[in-house]
Amino acid sequence: MPRFSFTGLETMPIARRNLQGMIFAAFLSGAALCLAAQTTAPAGSAPGTATVQLTPHYAPNATYTYDLEIDSHILRSGAGAGNPAELINASRVLMHVLPAAQQQGGGAVIELSFLQYNTTVRADASLQEALQKETSETDESARQMAPVRVQLQPDGTTKIVERPQGAVFDQPVAVLEQFARTDMLPIGPVAVGTHWKRTRIQDLPTMHFSLPLQMQCTLTGVQAVKGQPAATIAVQMQGASPLPPDGIPNAQQLAAAGLVARGSIDITGSSNNQYRETDGVLLSSSSQNHNVLKIQLMGATPEPQDVTTTIDSTGTVKLIAEKR
């Protein structure tokens, strides 16, 4: 693994898995699958305006296949300045609604697995080999992992009822869980121009904490997709927080080197998400996100040293096949 230099003191860089976890968390939080906790019925519908109602109805034993692509550009600046890198993830997800006989507690249970999961690394020679090695390990784990089962709750949230155990699966599980979420959808009928706010608690397992995200959602349009009515929801998202001590990458190594580290994370993004009116199934989405991870190190020099990692990501999700 390459190293950063802080005025003569060398320490391990921010772990790639923390970066990759941040990339997926940021993308999934404000992007194609950024789904927030339901609150009260949305406000803003104009009297007399035609409305639509987006309620998820998953037919037992139905299957949905999605393609997911995330293109992330990573840049380190400050005391840990380095050359940029790019991670491109292309995945295919199978979502299977379990038969009625296998449902639990009255709520639909969704089984999710990867049909494909591949990450391409583009970086200079000093980073390429290390990044590619760790990325390949995550890719292989995702492709071979057992399906994740997620139960839809009456309040619109989700609960993981079965998943493979181990930290190596945290990131792939977090990706899969998002495909079962329906809680970005508004409660009750809405008209074009209706807006509603959401607060979502986004788990960041690689950083050992959860980040509250504030979202502004708007129904921006209703149109036909392959002859069926569909609604588009736009989302603006922002969340920022200090990191807990154990959420700072390589915290133990830094402490052993005599450094006091403080960290913070800032995520902003926007997305457009298209749902089918008849059953609330996600059809497609696109997103842009800007994420900043800042680590301040004290003790190596008289003045604190900052290491800032910026991740700019674009992503798309598309329903490519379904069977009932």
Q: What are the beta bridge partners of residue 212? A: 201
Residues 6 or more apart whose CB falls under 8 angstroms from that of 23 comprise 70, 72, 74, 87, 291, 311, 313
pLDDT at residue 24, as a whole number:
42
What integer is the mean pLDDT of 254-258? 79
Token code pair at residue 303:
């003045």
pLDDT at residue 267, as a whole number:
92
| 130: containing domain | 4-323
pLDDT at residue 249, as a whole number:
72
Question: For residue 275, which of 43, 51, 110, 33 has the smallest C-alpha distance?
Answer: 33
Question: For residue 8, which of 262, 258, 269, 229 has the smallest C-alpha distance?
Answer: 258
Residues 6 or more apart whose CB falls under 8 angstroms from that of 165 comprise none
Predicted confidence band of residue 296 (pLDDT cuts 50, 70, 90): confident
pLDDT digits (tens, 9 = 90+) for 171-230: 888 889 888 887 778 878 899 999 988 887 787 777 778 888 888 999 999 998 888 899
Residue with tokens 């760790």: 134
Q: Output the domain CATH number for residue 205.
A: 2.30.230
pLDDT at residue 51, as a whole number:
87
pLDDT digits (tens, 9 = 90+) for 95-145: 999 987 666 666 789 999 999 999 999 988 878 888 888 888 889 999 999
C-alpha distance across the termini of the chain, in Å: 48
Q: Classify residue 7 as left (phi > 0), alpha (psi -120 to 50) or beta.
A: left
Average pLDDT over the chain reads 79
Number of domains in the chain: 1
Give the predicted TM-score (pTM) of the model: 0.81
Question: For residue 18, which of 112, 127, 138, 128 has the smallest C-alpha distance?
Answer: 138
Percentage of the residues of the chain whose pLDDT score is greater than 70 = 81
Between residues 224 and 8, the one the model is more confident about: 224
pLDDT at residue 275, as a whole number:
93
